[in-house]
């Protein structure tokens, strides 16, 4: 209950239940008005002599139903009940955790309904008595104005020489009617206050959510910067690995990306990382709203994905270079084996030629 109305309205019964409202489109399905069980209370407004059922979820009044004698609370199951509110043009439903709580709420609804009926009957009786007094006082007032002696003055102002003023019962009736009109205006003003307070609480809640979203976005920027630093370290490691492979290979093999291409890829990656660092710096220096920050966040995530893809491509190239280096080493070993084999064959041929020369020399000597 809002603080402005606690002095005027007092709770007479409270229970916890899940609140539902009928779907205005289908008039069949129930729509949940609260995410969890909330407090549902009966309140009595002594100034207006009315009873209300009120429930507040967060900063919003989800039930504000004035009880009238023609309302009926119906138990549709062991733990569920409902009633129709013609003023609010809806049907409220309550789901309780136990059957006993439902029974207690139904009994309280019946008692409050009876109290509302008695209050209305008393109000009608007072109104009828006021009308009767007005009808009786009207002819008497006319007669008193025509014949002064038949209606002695009730109040004299400024002595016997001045004009006499009379106060009749009709004036009291008019005062009562005026009071009722003022009470009605105050009641309408109270409803406006409730709506304004609910709207104020909603705006405060939205503002708190926006501040939380902005803080979360700032935290995300720090996290992105940390990820970029990790990518920078990974790039340096890959650069060192490529330099080591190039020193081992000596020169790029055919069909393999050369040193210039790898260097160019590294320079592009470094330029991309530098641009990313600059964007993060701009994000921290600018004061943008949550919408623009979310948009830049999506762009940053996309660019981070591009960096990851480029890193993956660079790793694939490094792996290809390693495979090519291993293949070249195997080919070189095979060539060396073949050369050794040819040398061995040549040695054998040279030995045969030497033997043949010796044989020819012997034949010449003979």
Q: What is the pLDDT of residues 169-208, one digit of tens each?
A: 555 666 777 677 766 666 555 555 555 655 665 666 667 7
* Distance separating alpha carbons of residues 109 and 118, to the nearest angstrom: 14
Q: Does any domain span residue 317?
A: no
Q: What is the pLDDT of residue 257?
A: 53
Position 38 in a domain: yes
* DSSP character string of 115-132: HHHHHHHHHHHHHHHHHH
Nearest-angstrom CA–CA distance, 54 and 60: 11
Residues 237, 292 contacting (CB under 8 angstroms)? no
CA distances from 294 to 300, 301, 347 (A): 10, 10, 79
**∠ CA 208-211-213 to the nearest 5 degrees?**
110
Strand 50-57 versus strand 90-95 pairing type: unpaired
Domain presence at residue 113: yes
CB distance 88 to 65 below 8 Å? yes
Give pLDDT < 70 ranges for the chain.
Answer: 1-8, 125-174, 178, 182-206, 249-259, 283-291, 366
Q: Quick check: 307 and 272 in contact, CB under 8 A?
A: yes
Task: Report whether 30 contacts 22 (CB < 8 A).
Answer: yes
Residue 272 lies in a domain: no
d(CA 106, CA 74): 8
Report long-range pairs for 75-81 (Cβ below 8 Å, ≥24 apart): 75/102, 75/106, 78/102, 81/105, 81/106
Task: Provide CB contacts within 8 A for 55, sequence distance 6+.
Answer: 19, 34, 38, 39, 40, 41, 61, 62, 63
Tokens of 186: 């105050």
How many Cβ atoms sit within 10 Å of the Cβ of residue 297? 15
Total structural domains in the chain?
Answer: 1
Q: Are 85 and 63 in contact (CB under 8 A)?
A: no
DSSP H or E segment with residue 9: strand 9-22
- The count of other CB atoms within 10 Å of the CB of residue 11 is 13
End-to-end CA distance of the chain: 140
Name the burial class of residue 127, with classes exposed (0-12), middle (13-18) and buried (19+) by CB atoms within 10 angstroms of its CB. Answer: middle
The pLDDT assigned to 135 comes to: 59
Q: Which residues does residue 52 pair with via DSSP β-bridges, in sequence order? A: 43, 66
CB within 8 A of 241, min separation 6: which ones?
Answer: 318
CA distances (Å), 11 to each of 7, 53, 167, 314, in order? 11, 9, 41, 72
Find the domain containing 26 and state its range.
11-131
CA distance 173 to 179: 10
Contact indicator for 200, 276 with CB cutoff of 8 Å: no
Q: Is 174 among the domain residues? A: no
Strand (E) or helix (H) holding 74: strand 74-75
Residue 245 within a domain: no
Q: Determine if residue 98 is left, alpha or beta; phi over 0 gives left, psi from -120 to 50 gives alpha, anything else beta.
A: beta
| Residue 220 token pair | 């995300």
Task: Return the CATH number at 124.
Answer: 2.30.29.30
Look-up: residue for tokens 């009633």? 83
Please check whether residue 63 is in contact with residue 92, taking contact to mean a CB–CB distance below 8 angstroms. yes
pLDDT score recorded for residue 132: 61
- pLDDT of 288 reads 55
Q: What is the pLDDT of residue 364?
A: 75
For residue 364, is it within any domain? Answer: no
**226 part of a folded domain:** no
């Amino acid at each position: 209950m809002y603080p402005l109305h606690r002095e005027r309205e007092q709770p007479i019964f409270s229970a916890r239940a899940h609140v539902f409202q009928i779907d205005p489109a289908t008039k069949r399905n129930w729509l949940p008005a609260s995410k969890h069980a909330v407090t549902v209370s009966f309140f009595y407004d002594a100034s207006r002599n009315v009873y209300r059922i009120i429930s507040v979820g967060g900063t919003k009044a989800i039930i504000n139903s004035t009880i009238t004698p023609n309302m009926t609370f119906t138990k549709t199951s062991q733990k569920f009940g409902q009633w129709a509110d013609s003023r609010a043009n809806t049907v409220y439903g309550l789901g309780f955790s136990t059957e006993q709580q439902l029974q207690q709420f139904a009994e309280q609804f019946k008692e409050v309904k009876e109290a509302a009926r008695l209050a209305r009957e008393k109000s009608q009786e007072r109104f009828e008595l006021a009308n009767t007094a007005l009808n009786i006082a009207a002819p008497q007032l006319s007669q008193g104005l025509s014949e002064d002696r038949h209606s002695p003055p009730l109040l004299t102002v400024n002595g016997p020489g001045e004009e006499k003023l009379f106060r009749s019962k009709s004036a009291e009736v008019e005062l009562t009617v005026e009071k009722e009109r003022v009470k009605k205006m105050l009641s309408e003003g109270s409803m406006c206050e409730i709506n304004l307070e609910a709207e104020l609480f909603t705006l405060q809640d939205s503002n708190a959510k926006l501040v939380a979203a902005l803080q979360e976005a700032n935290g995300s920027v720090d996290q992105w910067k940390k990820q970029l630093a990790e990518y920078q370290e990974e790039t340096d490691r890959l650069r060192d690995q490529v330099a080591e492979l190039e020193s081992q290979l000596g020169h790029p093999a055919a069909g393999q990306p050369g040193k210039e291409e790898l260097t160019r890829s590294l320079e592009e990656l470094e330029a991309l990382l530098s641009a990313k660092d600059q964007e993060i710096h701009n994000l921290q220096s600018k004061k943008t709203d949550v919408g623009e920050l979310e948009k830049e966040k999506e762009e940053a995530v996309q660019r981070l994905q591009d960096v990851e893809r480029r890193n993956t491509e660079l790793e694939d190239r490094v792996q290809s270079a390693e495979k090519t280096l291993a293949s070249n080493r195997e080919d070189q070993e095979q060539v060396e084996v073949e050369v050794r084999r040819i040398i061995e064959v040549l040695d054998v041929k040279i030995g045969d030629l030497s033997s043949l020369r010796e044989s020819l020399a012997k034949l010449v000597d003979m």
